[in-house]
Chains A and B, each alone.
Chain A
Amino acid sequence: MNIIHAVGVKKDFGALEVLKGVDLSVSQGEVVVIIGPSGSGKSTLLRCLIELERIDEGSIYVGDRALVENGVYAKEKDLREIRQRMGMVFQHFNLFPHMTVWKNLILAPLSVLKMDKKEAEDRAFEVLRQVGLLDKRDELPKNLSGGQKQRVAIARALMMRPDILLFDEPTSALDPELTGEVLTVMQDLARNDSTMVIVTHEMEFAKNVADRVIFMNEGVIALEGTPKEIFENSNHSRLLSFLARKDTSAEAMPST
């Protein structure tokens, strides 16, 4: 069963064609890692999946429902329900700075899912333990390290029990020594059968965790396959030069 099924997705920003017909299916429990050069449309693709950007042509199905079919979007009320099946983790965390970790977590379950307080707090307890931050529950985000912020952001997304989690370069804004703690949390999620689409420049992580790796280039999926196929057996010239550049520059690429 596909959690996400996108067909012929096209998107442009004015004269700039950013997605030129992308097909993407993600099945239950699958971990898909998207790699590719800066500006190739990776973020835009993720953002279109969860309707932070609107596509111009194509269809996106989430579970059994159409977010957009042949370029026509569902009604606002349906969009809200469909988006709710997905969670997203951003490069810059986007925690609510005026709320404690705890409030960040329970806000949406209380006001969107109408969970009762007890249930929301039990869930918050559970997800905070999962990301190893129970002792930070009463802190404001500004008192956390980048790695801790991102783990809270992941916890906040988990609160909603999404069918799929989308990650847009979750470690790119972090100091190198803090990426590990975030990647570990994501690896745990993968092991527990979470469905995830992850845009990242962490190639080691992709090799170890991905079920499937997608190489995007200039607005299309240039190549996809298992980590082995992509990282070891491919002779795709664009991919090879992209990977070679990654090897020489230890640092993550600047991203948009």
Chain B
Amino acid sequence: MKIANISKILLMGIGNTVTVFAVTLFFSIPLGLLLSFMSMSKIKVIKAPVRVFVFIMRGTPLMLQLFFVCFGLPFLPYVGQYLVMDRFVAACVTFALNYAAYFCEIFRGGLLSVDAGQYEAAKVLGLTKWHVRTKIVIPQMIKIVLPAVSNESITLVKDTALITTIGVTETLHYAKSLVNSTASVLPYGVAAAFYLGMTFVLTKLFAYLERKYAF
């Protein structure tokens, strides 16, 4: 089988891989930011649930979380019947929540390392809390967290392969069946090339962002 033909078949899975990747980043970054601010709140009822959420999401396997959301939730008493999700949607929801927990911690670290003098200068100038956050703190936080966010998103590229375990067909799924049906190792090589390509694009993108945030 030619590489072109292999690629054509893999392409059917790449759509799902890229979509899960994009949807996860799209939702987990803002959610993670919100959670990071909540987890730094002085109000306990805001802070505590976030800490528990982060502890659970980081402390259990992503695969378990996938199974739980996809196959477990529908068995919950009373509410279970409303929690039956399309598997693809379940995958996106799980990934977004899981990555939000990691981003929460990354952003929290970034926020903590913004110099206290920045808040004081902003306060003395009369900026509102909202402006302090959006105009002073978040831009400086972004610079600090970029390397870690880059790292996470590259991890995410590869984590997307996990969704095959709940029966969503993605790149690796097709690669595996092609290897079986053609008795050739080539499809794995093509799949690897695809993941490397995605990682390469991300690496370039973040290198660009780091240059842009070099202040």
| A87 contact from B124, B131, B140, B215, Cβ within 8 A | B124
Asked whether A156 lies within 8 Å of B125 as measured between CB atoms, the reply is: yes
Asked whether B126 lies within 8 Å of A84 as measured between CB atoms, the reply is: yes
Asked whether B126 lies within 8 Å of A83 as measured between CB atoms, the reply is: yes
Residues of B near any A CB (own CB < 8 A): 115, 117-118, 120-128, 131, 135-136, 139-140, 143, 213, 215
How many angstroms from the CA of A169 to the CA of B115 in the assembled complex?
18
| B131 contact from A86, A94, A111, A156, Cβ within 8 A | A111
| A52 contact from B124, B136, B213, Cβ within 8 A | B124
Would you mind naming 27 contact pairs between A and B with Cβ atoms under 8 Å apart?
A50-B124, A52-B120, A52-B123, A80-B126, A83-B123, A84-B126, A86-B124, A88-B124, A90-B117, A94-B117, A94-B120, A96-B118, A96-B121, A96-B136, A97-B215, A98-B139, A98-B215, A107-B125, A107-B127, A108-B125, A111-B128, A111-B131, A112-B125, A112-B131, A140-B215, A156-B125, A157-B124
CB neighbours (8 Å) of B128 from chain A are 111-112
Kindly state whether residue A33 has any CB partner on chain B within 8 Å.
no
Interface centre among B115, B120, B123, B125 (most CB of A within 10 A): B125
Contact with B along A90-122 (1 / 0, CB 8 A): 101011111000000001100111000000000
CB neighbours (8 Å) of A141 from chain B are 215
| A107 contact from B118, B120, B135, B143, Cβ within 8 A | B135
Kindly list 8 other residue pairs between chains A and B, CB separation below 8 angstroms, not including A52-B123, A84-B126, A90-B120.
A88-B124, A94-B117, A96-B122, A98-B139, A108-B126, A111-B131, A156-B125, A157-B124
CB-based nearest B residue for A156: B125
Q: Which of A33-92 contact B (CB under 8 A)?
A: 50, 52, 80, 83-84, 86-88, 90, 92
The 10 A-B pairs at the shortest CB distance, nearest first, are namely A94-B121, A108-B125, A94-B117, A112-B126, A98-B215, A88-B124, A98-B139, A84-B126, A97-B215, A140-B215
Asked whether B126 lies within 8 Å of A94 as measured between CB atoms, the reply is: no
How many angstroms from the CA of A157 to the CA of B124 in the assembled complex?
9
How many angstroms from the CA of A141 to the CA of B215 in the assembled complex?
8
CB-based nearest B residue for A112: B126
| A108 contact from B117, B127, B143, B213, Cβ within 8 A | B127
Asked whether A111 lies within 8 Å of B215 as measured between CB atoms, the reply is: no
Closest Cβ of chain B to A45, distance in Å, is 15
CB neighbours (8 Å) of B120 from chain A are 52, 88, 90, 94
How many angstroms from the CA of A112 to the CA of B122 in the assembled complex?
11
How many angstroms from the CA of A87 to the CA of B120 in the assembled complex?
11
Closest Cβ of chain B to A86, distance in Å, is 8
Interface centre among A92, A97, A113, A142 (most CB of B within 10 A): A97
| A111 contact from B115, B135, B139, B213, Cβ within 8 A | B135
Kindly state whether residue A182 has any CB partner on chain B within 8 Å.
no
Kindly state whether residue A9 has any CB partner on chain B within 8 Å.
no
